[in-house]
Amino acid sequence: MFYNQDIAKLLLRLCVGGLMLFHGIYKIMHGIGGVEGMIESRGLPGVLAYGVYITEVLAPLMILVGYQVRIAAIIEALGMLVAIYAAVGFDIFALNAHGAWVIEPQLLFLLPCITLALIGGGRYGVSFRS
């Protein structure tokens, strides 16, 4: 039997997990200095920047393979909230130089993660049930 909803959930997982993983790979290769600077500029401790490895590497990998998708999606969504604050503070209703909403890139990850947290990852993924 063909499960359209499970295929759709898989595509959503591949999109949000796969695209975010590229951000994480970049941070692994080039470091988190930029993130640390943004975090510190908002008065937060720079050590929080290391959370990027959880939100941009571990959580996306979990989403991609379909393991504990709801938990991983919540982790990634929380990371996006921190990214919004680090990037623009509370000035979330501004437009950038191109006329786009300043938090548009983060929302393109935040909203699918919230969706995955609500609907789950579907039947196509790994499971460690006995």
Q: What is the pLDDT of residues 6-49, one digit of tens each?
A: 999 999 999 999 999 999 999 999 999 999 999 999 999 999 99
Calpha distance 55→77 (Å, rounded): 8
| Concatenated DSSP letters of 36-77 | HHHHHHTTS-GGGGGGHHIIIIIHHHHHHHTSSHHHHHHHHH
Give a yes or no: residue 75 inside a domain.
yes
According to the model, what pLDDT value does residue 129 have? 64
Give a yes or no: residue 125 inside a domain.
no
Calpha distance 22→90 (Å, rounded): 27
Q: What is the extent of the structural domain holding 108? A: 5-119
Give a yes or no: residue 124 inside a domain.
no
Residue in this structure with the two tokens 């988190």, named with its chain if needed: 32
Cα dist from 95 to 75, 99, 126, whole Å: 27, 5, 41
Give a yes or no: residue 89 inside a domain.
yes
Give a yes or no: residue 129 inside a domain.
no
Give a yes or no: residue 130 inside a domain.
no
The pTM for the full model equals 0.91
If one counts the domains in the chain, the total is 1
Q: What is the pLDDT of residues 76-114, one digit of tens each?
A: 999 999 999 999 999 999 999 999 999 999 999 999 999
